[in-house]
Structure 1
């Protein structure tokens, strides 16, 4: 892709070299940072079957969920601090926390310590919000769209190379090798941020921290996720389940009331109250949350063993899964990059509708046809094209909806809403999948009907999210939207 753009600070050799060396290095560093969560999530998802068998646990869902809980709780404080003190600075801090958590997990000798490490690493959760905000701030106007689309398309790079990397590490070194690779990957990201990425000059005024609002919002949403996650174990009508879910919902209501009264709210109600903003956040969070959540169930289906009468997993190796998914990953990359260019000419709402429809159709078909290599590859064409469109558009639509000084808060709010919906959908899916599970030696194995129900859940949510695009009003296109310091 060739783009003729000059830096606003000085003329660089960008005329025929696209982004130019400086911006290319920044983009690579931000790409690694933006996909680190996804890479760790992918490798962890692939390793969870082996971890569940090794530790004889039926609570393997918390291997991924504990970090999500911490990330949701921390997001309001991290994005607020990033707006006041610098997005790069906060990104470095949370990457360091992620590295500490990964080390604890890699050195763990029991499941409880492993979860502690994953919890500490959860502070890295809001990283994607800061990465996209930095992209808007440090790239010239004409590069913001392609750069954002490229970062969104990084999910395709991850989907292409991640399974091969995960397969090699998991098949040759086991789940412990996966945990140590997480340490290495986070360390590389930290070094790239320190030496390649400039700080944003866009700042919010330094105001007192709205601790009450942040605790009510983060704590309330985390409480809802935790209550839903324990619902199957405690009983959906038990006092404990209803208390956690009820407290969480009351805390969110309390957050709204507090934000209307404080002088310097954590998330201004005026921002979240704008129709273009809340409708974009709702639609993108429903679709993206379901996309990421269904990946957990898909990996269980593919990697759990096939044991007649006990487990209906496909029993593939991680490496075989990588080869099967590779063509569709290439498709996702190509579509996402093309979408980053097309969105400057076509209404982003129309493109998102096309992408969401294709993903919903693909996941719905997967509920019935997931028994062979041919079926999964053929259905993956729908999902690959649709996901390529969606992942490229979400950050771009947030840029279209908020002002430069609201970018970190906007990305943070969208990221938090997506995390909550992803967490709730993952927990509900595990409840559906576990309904017909067989437990042997402390390990849960799942039957084919359970996987089908999980996929149908996600297909339905994606379809609803796609229909809700009708709620999003027309706003400035990416071509007209303000960008940060480059403007």
Structure 2
């Protein structure tokens, strides 16, 4: 396991689904990814009101955000591997179920515990995004693969950006429960569309067993790490809890790695992950995820701070969300351009270009974030770069792994992006908590704090570009993301 399929094995694999044009398939999977990503930002406009709504403390209410992150981190790798073993369409349908159930549980919740449970179930549904990307390789003809991969990969950013204004508008004008009833209805519609329009690709017999121990070990290690990263600022970075979680993450993940190298059918094939192209793409994914999330936190706060501060822009939550929404749409607009660039020069070039565009956006922010229009321009440039980078990552991953591992490999890459966004949030949180001013008895981030956070984003994006430059050169035969994805099945991958 872990080696590319031979040409004979590839020829023996039925490819009937690929004969379809795929327009409906791509649309359904893209919308599914957007809906899944919406769940991450669904409660953000409610955070200030949740303690009263749920009769709990602000600290407890914050778990409604953390639960989604943690549940997604645990579920995404497992769902990806199960998709490889039992069929991606089947697991796409399975992933819709926790979205529906979690939304209904949240809509009916009147206390914090059921709300956290419901939000956790919604996080499990995040597996729709990497599954959708991996399914494309099975059901689309090669000439449509590059653009489709870029579009669905960008759905994470699109859903996150659109979620803020939509959720804010609903929360300000009607009952907060409508948010969750609407998300339940959308999830049901997505499930029906997947059932009707996404074909089932053949699954190779004898493709392995599900590694339960590996799934549990990875889940525990990732939860410990993400808990420490996401809650470290609240608990204290030098507190026993935070340091203990970091230590536990290191021990558990090291033990998990040793186990995965010895088991016959690993949860994540670390030998495949260690290939130069896969490893460096995952490192770049962490860095790009970190850079992407930094600007989201900074720009949303700047938009909502009072104008009297001299650097705040005095917008409501709803208005701030509307100013940021076009940035999510920008990711959708640049995805076909990224696919064309990847076809002409390879996904390595697209990933590097995306990282440099992100750095450019952060660089010009130092002169533009004093106005709402300047913030919009900065957000458009940065998210345009993110769209280029996110679209190239799956193509690089699928260009280096066999077809039987696309689900697991893409899910692991999605996990790396999530780790990057969590790390970005933690780093920006530290900067903004250290560089502050006191106004009317309230401590708020200073203008220097925001500018320092933007410089951090610029630096991280430049490092991502440097990492991308060390990726292997594209093989001459791999002239597009589609052929790059196929190359992983027909030729030995480049090794360090």
Residue 267 of structure 1: aligned partner: 268
Which consecutive residues of structure 2, in runs of 5 or more, have no partner in the other structure?
Answer: 1-13, 491-496
Alpha carbons of structure 1 residues 64 and 237: separation in structure 2 relative to 1, 3 Å: same
Alpha carbons of structure 1 residues 261 and 483: separation in structure 2 relative to 1, 3 Å: same
Q: What CA deviation, in whole Å up to 9, does each residue of 1:382-416 have, x standing for no partner?
A: 22432232232222222222222221111011112
- 1:285 positional shift: 3.0
- 1:376 positional shift: 0.8
Q: State the distance in 1 between where 2:75 and 2:244 align.
A: 22
- 1:319 positional shift: 4.5
**1:481 counterpart SS class:** helix
Counterparts of 1:326-337 in structure 2, within 5 Å, are 328-337=327-336
Report whether the alignment pairs 1:380 with 2:379: yes
Which consecutive residues of structure 1, in runs of 5 or more, have no partner in the other structure?
Answer: 1-6
Give the number of aligned pairs.
Answer: 468
Alpha carbons of structure 1 residues 462 and 47: separation in structure 2 relative to 1, 3 Å: farther
Residue 81 of structure 1: aligned partner: 82
Counterparts of 1:91-106 in structure 2, within 5 Å, are 91-106=92-107
Q: State the distance in 1 between where 2:443 and 2:183 align.
A: 26
Residue 471 of structure 1: aligned partner: 470
- 1:243 positional shift: 1.2
Residue 483 of structure 2: aligned partner: 480
Q: What CA deviation, in whole Å up to 9, does each residue of 1:241-261 have, x standing for no partner?
A: 211110101111111111121
Residue 391 of structure 2: aligned partner: 392
Q: What CA deviation, in whole Å up to 9, does each residue of 1:282-341 have, x standing for no partner?
A: 1123213431454245334434x53867x9864423543355345555544332112212
- C-alpha contact 2:303 2:372 (8 A) present in aligned 1: no
Report whether the alignment pairs 1:320 with 2:319: yes
Question: Aligned-residue CA RMSD in angstroms?
Answer: 3.4
Q: What CA deviation, in whole Å up to 9, does each residue of 1:64-96 have, x standing for no partner?
A: 322111121223322221111111111211220
Counterparts of 1:295-306 in structure 2, within 5 Å, are 295-303=296-304, 306=306
TM-score, normalised to structure 2, is 0.83
Counterparts of 1:56-455 in structure 2, within 5 Å, are 57-58=58-59, 61-154=62-155, 158=159, 165-173=166-174, 175-203=176-204, 205-292=206-293, 294-303=295-304, 306=306, 314-321=313-320, 323-325=322-324, 328-366=327-365, 369-435=368-434, 446-455=445-454
- C-alpha contact 2:85 2:207 (8 A) present in aligned 1: yes
- 1:368 positional shift: 6.5
TM-score, normalised to structure 1, is 0.84
- C-alpha contact 2:96 2:187 (8 A) present in aligned 1: yes
Q: What CA deviation, in whole Å up to 9, does each residue of 1:267-292 have, x standing for no partner?
A: 11221121111111211232134314
Q: State the distance in 2 between where 1:389 and 1:50 align.
A: 36
- C-alpha contact 1:331 1:384 (8 A) present in aligned 2: yes
Q: State the distance in 2 between where 1:481 and 1:107 align.
A: 47
Q: State the distance in 2 between where 1:278 and 1:373 align.
A: 39
**2:483 counterpart SS class:** coil
Q: Which moved more, 1:40-49 or 1:98-107?
A: 40-49
Alpha carbons of structure 1 residues 262 and 153: separation in structure 2 relative to 1, 3 Å: closer
**2:432 counterpart SS class:** helix
- C-alpha contact 2:287 2:461 (8 A) present in aligned 1: yes
Alpha carbons of structure 1 residues 199 and 261: separation in structure 2 relative to 1, 3 Å: same
- 1:173 positional shift: 2.1
Q: What CA deviation, in whole Å up to 9, does each residue of 1:109-143 have, x standing for no partner?
A: 23443222211222112221111010111001111
Q: State the distance in 1 between where 2:438 and 2:107 align.
A: 27
- C-alpha contact 1:225 1:423 (8 A) present in aligned 2: yes
Alpha carbons of structure 1 residues 453 and 10: separation in structure 2 relative to 1, 3 Å: closer
- C-alpha contact 2:288 2:386 (8 A) present in aligned 1: no
Q: State the distance in 2 between where 1:112 and 1:367 align.
A: 42
- C-alpha contact 2:233 2:426 (8 A) present in aligned 1: no
- 1:168 positional shift: 3.4
**2:110 counterpart SS class:** coil
Alpha carbons of structure 1 residues 233 and 40: separation in structure 2 relative to 1, 3 Å: closer
- 1:24 positional shift: 2.0
**1:345 counterpart SS class:** helix
- C-alpha contact 2:210 2:267 (8 A) present in aligned 1: yes
Q: State the distance in 1 between where 2:18 and 2:69 align.
A: 43
